[in-house]
Chain A
Amino acid sequence: QLQLQESGPGLVKPSETLSLTCTVSVGSINNGSYYWGWIRQPPGKGLEWIGNIYSSGTTYYKPSLRSRVTISVDTSRKRISLKLSSVTAADTAVYFCGRLVTVTSPYLDHWGQGALVTVSS
């Protein structure tokens, strides 16, 4: 059974860089049938798409976050990483990684349990 596990610091200071890792438990992450994404959810609010990375390494980022976001993949360690720079309190959220099924209209068939990141001095 596929499992995704987010990990990283739970507290980040304003203006610093948030770094999270998503580890995939089963199978290859370099499978053209899937790609990988990051989603966040501020406390008490809805889901926000951050971006995704394809098996080719091509990335897509939400336009409003593009200048601050980097998503990368380490296929040998089966890890997908998220970096978000120059954070503010507005970046406080639970961050999820997810697997997208590569079809005409992709959807997330697996989610991690989420990692709460608080931005505070």
Chain B
Amino acid sequence: SYELTQPPSVSVSPGQTASIPCSGDKLGDKYVSWYQQRSGQSPVLVIYQDTKRPSGIPERFSGSNSGNTATLTISGTQAMDEADYYCQAWDSSVVFGGGTKLTVL
């Protein structure tokens, strides 16, 4: 079965850029989506089809995908961005990465 790998945690200072990687075999050949899950809440879609932002998602969220790695980038990170982030791809069904806890300190 297809697997997506994410680092368990990433730290960033307020106002700096956070990058969260997601790796998988030939991941660049697939579309990747990203979800933000704040503590105690449901996941929210922040990026779909590698680079697209749903309505209402701030411009500071962006995505890229090439080779074996997709990356979620948060520019000018704010305290409110502290959350768990999950990448997701499709391989005959939904596949989630293990999640990355973003700490803003």
Chain B residues lying within 8 Å of A62, measured Cβ to Cβ, are: 93
B96 to chain A, nearest CB (A): 5
The answer on a CB contact under 8 Å between B90 and A106 is: yes
A103 within 8 A of B: yes
Classify chain B's interface size. Answer: 20 to 34
Instruction: Look across to chain A and name the residue whose beta carbon is closest to the beta carbon of B32.
Output: A105
In the assembly, what is the distance between CA of A101 and CA of B48, in Å?
Answer: 10
Known: A63-B1, A107-B49; 14 extra A-B contacts, CB below 8 A, are A39-B96, A46-B97, A48-B96, A49-B93, A49-B94, A49-B95, A60-B92, A96-B42, A105-B30, A105-B89, A107-B48, A107-B90, A108-B43, A113-B42
| A–B pairs, 17, beta carbons within 8 Å | A37-B94, A39-B94, A39-B96, A46-B96, A46-B97, A47-B99, A49-B93, A51-B93, A52-B93, A101-B48, A105-B31, A105-B33, A106-B94, A107-B31, A107-B49, A108-B35, A109-B48
- Enumerate chain A interface residues (CB-CB to B < 8 A): 37, 39, 46-49, 51-52, 60, 62-63, 96, 100-101, 103-109, 111-114
